[in-house]
Amino acid sequence: MRGNPKFALVMPSTNKPNKHFSVKLKERVVVEKSDYRRPNKLFVLSGIEGNLRQLCKLLMRAKVVDKYLHWTFEDNHLVLIGNCFNSGDEITECLWLVYSLEEKAKREGGHVHFILGNNEIMGINGNWRHLHPHYAVRKNGSSTALYDGNNQLWKWLCTKNIIERIGDMLFVYGGMAKEVLHLNLSVKQINDLTRPHYTQARNNFSDPVLSLLFGNDTSPFGYRGYCLGTASEELVDATLQHFDVQTIITGHPLINRINTFYNGKVFNVNMNHTSGISEGLLISKDRFYRVAIDKKRERIK
């Protein structure tokens, strides 16, 4: 966009007009890489569901940002794995915050990852049935449904991945079903195959590969086998070996606290933040910690 304009976005959850953060629009949006080096620290979240207050509190608690929402995580990485879209009434504000933090992190040598889950794919497709009425009504003659293909946020979302590898860790909202693993695709190939079809995800694909990559029970953003216990440990081990990683970090389904499965090979970080119980996963070198808003951090592994 010409002139690279900047604007301030008020944080409605505070009910104070002087509480806001600034957003500088990107001159252009670019497709994300699929593979990254592993930094010294990562902070991982999932399931924000449009809850801006909890998102800000967790980011401050983990020292990712300060009270002014300025990036303070140096050259480390913030990872959000799906389910930012859902029933909350501040989805747009959460997205703009993540959008703005990308540039702030980049200036310090850090990075922000926003990996799409099933609700993000539905949102890109204009599926509003599960969202807050705020996003499906009209105000002052204009629609509040912002993800219709003609605006900055929608274009930005379409550059994101459904799976990423950061060092020796794999990040994916759902997981890897055996049918998809047997396709023998790399992380980049999975993203390159799916990205052009995000807006067609409600269709029945005739292509058998796309049918698996977008299937309710087989897609990387929809599969729930790890945390439901229906995946075998052999499948988990095969996934680790195929992608040359040590750990898989997922965001599906909702859990009461961040935990590990399959002898510490799989983490689920999808908290129900709207319940008031919020945690994020801090990874510092080879140690894994729960970070809660009102508790000391607790080592998991």
CATH class of residue range 35-299: alpha beta
Give the pLDDT of residue 137: 42
| Residue of 177, 268, 277, 155 lying closest to 225 (CA atoms) | 177
Per-residue model confidence as pLDDT tens digits over 219-250:
999 999 998 889 999 999 999 999 999 999 99
Give the pLDDT of residue 127: 62
The pair of structure tokens assigned to 282 is 């801090």
Global confidence as pTM: 0.90
E strands, the chain, are 6-10, 20-24, 35-36, 41-45, 77-81, 111-115, 138-139, 142-143, 163-166, 169-172, 247-250, 259-261, 266-268, 279-284, 287-292, 298-299
Give the pLDDT of residue 143: 41
- Helices and strands of the chain, counted as H and E runs: 9, 16
The domain ranges of the chain are 35-299
Give the pLDDT of residue 133: 54
Per-residue model confidence as pLDDT tens digits over 234-292:
999 999 999 999 999 999 877 788 989 999 999 999 887 777 778 999 999 999 999 99
Strand order in the sheet with 247-250: 35-36, 163-166, 169-172, 247-250, 266-268, 259-261
Strand partners, 78: 43, 112
Give the pLDDT of residue 129: 47
Per-residue model confidence as pLDDT tens digits over 26-68:
888 999 999 999 999 999 999 888 888 889 999 999 999 999 9
Per-residue model confidence as pLDDT tens digits over 199-223:
887 678 999 999 999 998 999 999 9
End-to-end CA distance of the chain: give it in Å, rounded.
Answer: 45
Residue 78 binned pLDDT confidence (cut-offs 50, 70, 90):
very high
- Name the DSSP letter for residue 31: P
Per-residue model confidence as pLDDT tens digits over 141-181:
444 444 454 578 888 999 999 999 999 999 999 999 999 99
pLDDT > 90 fraction of the chain, expressed in percent and rounded: 57
Strands 247-250 and 169-172: parallel
Report CA torsion sign: 231, 237, 239, 245: positive
Residue 23 binned pLDDT confidence (cut-offs 50, 70, 90):
confident
- Per the prediction, the chain carries an average pLDDT of 86
